[in-house]
Amino acid sequence: EKKAAAAKEEQEAAKKEEDRLAAAKKDNKRDVVVHPIVLLSVVDHYSRVAKGTTKRVVGTLLGEVDDFQLHITNCFAVPFEEDPRDPQVWFLDHNFHENMHAMFKKVNAKERVVGWYSTGPKIKPSDLAIHEMYRRYCPEPVLVVMDVQPKDLTLPMDAYYSIQEQTSDQVFKRTFLHVNSTVGAYEAEEVGVEHLLRDIKNASASTLAVRVGDKLTALKGLAMRLKEISAYLNQVVAGKLPMNQEIVYQLQEIFNLLPDQDSEELVKSFAMETNDMMLALYLGSMLRSTVALHNLINNKIRNKKLKEDKGKEKDKKNGEKDKDKKGEDAKKDENGDDKGKDKEKAKEKGKDK
């Protein structure tokens, strides 16, 4: 009976999930896939117009629907201004938008207006009014809020649709509904992005430092995801959130991918891998010690040679000084002899006189 009840609950949960997906399809609230060229274009737009200020930039998103996903494949900037003191005062050049859209349509007819982007980095009071303006160009526009200066490791964007929400006084008003958003790319785009990232190098960082930094970033992201999963499961156990069969199924798939820690082959292979790494570290340490000792010996030999050269140079200078002194003494002696001879000659002349 317990198994039957559990199976019935699972069927009901699966049915609810199917109903939810069907309702989502009916409401046309698709998941959003943002392509790399869009992210690069938004960052370029912000760097040219609003870098170093508190302003935000706004632009139009172009894309198409594929496999019940909204693929945002292109975008272009639109002149935009707003009053920082009054959020209801804003200006968006829709004539520029229409002209740009007409030119983009000539290049790629498949791309149509699917929404707009903002570098908020959060939703602002005037966004609903701007969203209503974009409803003139597409029935269900999407708003993608980009964070061009992210402070954490999450995706720097959030996607929203506008829906009618009923208030307590039976009045309907528009509000934003958050939907899933991911970064995706076609094969040609992936190749282009890889070549672009390959050319972006930090001259001050070595290859090893870059690899270690990438590993740390990946581990931080993994730790953050695990904390989110733990918080979600704790809330489900506490009854604060309903259990989602799809999420539980995906978690089970993740656990199934984990290796058996008690397997003898795994323990042996892990020990071999660890020993290989430790051997490489030991050899590297020995090599560094040998090189340091070699440099020390070379330094001592160099200092000794410099000291000997200085001593020889000093002796040479002293020898030259002694030689010069002897020469001067000899000259003095010669001058003294000449003077004595002159005196003797003078005496002889006096005697003759």
Tell me the pLDDT tens digit for each residue of 11-24.
776 666 555 544 54
pLDDT at 62 (0 to 100): 95
Bigger pLDDT: 334 or 138? 138
Indicate if the pLDDT at residue 25 is higher than 50: no
pLDDT at 159 (0 to 100): 93
- Residue whose token pair is 């049915």: 15
pLDDT at 318 (0 to 100): 80
Could you tell me if 97 and 155 lie in one domain? Answer: yes
Could you tell me if 213 and 273 lie in one domain? Answer: no
Could you tell me if 92 and 125 lie in one domain? Answer: yes
pLDDT band at 185 (very low <50, low <70, confident <90, very high): confident
Instruction: Decide the pairing of beta strands 58-66 and 31-34.
Output: unpaired
First to last CA, the chain: 165
Which letter does DSSP use for residue 117 in this model?
E
Contact 101, 60 (CB under 8 A): yes
Q: Could you tell me which of 123, 146, 120 has the C-alpha nearest to residue 43?
A: 146
pLDDT at 313 (0 to 100): 84
- Could you tell me if residue 302 is inside a domain? no
pTM of full prediction above 0.75: no
Phi-psi domain of 52 (left: phi exceeds 0; alpha: psi -120 through 50; beta: other): left
- Could you tell me if residue 348 is inside a domain? no
- Could you tell me if residue 55 is inside a domain? yes
Could you tell me if 62 and 191 lie in one domain? Answer: yes
Could you tell me if 176 and 219 lie in one domain? Answer: no
What residue numbers bound the domain in which 153 lies? 1-201
Q: 35: which strand partners?
A: none
pLDDT band at 352 (very low <50, low <70, confident <90, very high): low
Residues of the chain above pLDDT 70, percent? 80
CATH number of the domain at 145, please. Answer: 3.40.140.10
Which one of 257-266, 320-329, 343-352 scores highest in mean pLDDT? 257-266
Indicate if the pLDDT at residue 67 is higher than 80: no
- Could you tell me if residue 307 is inside a domain? no
Could you tell me if 137 and 70 lie in one domain? Answer: yes
Could you tell me if 274 and 169 lie in one domain? Answer: no
Indicate if the pLDDT at residue 268 is higher than 90: no
Gap between the Cα atoms of 208 and 350, Å rounded: 103
- Residue whose token pair is 């002209």: 99
Amino acid at 108: N
pLDDT at 199 (0 to 100): 63
pLDDT at 117 (0 to 100): 95
Helices (DSSP H) in 28-126: which residue ranges? 36-49, 94-107
Q: Could you tell me which of 52, 56, 183, 47 has the C-alpha nearest to residue 119?
A: 56
Residues of the chain above pLDDT 90, percent? 30
> What is the total count of domains within the chain?
3
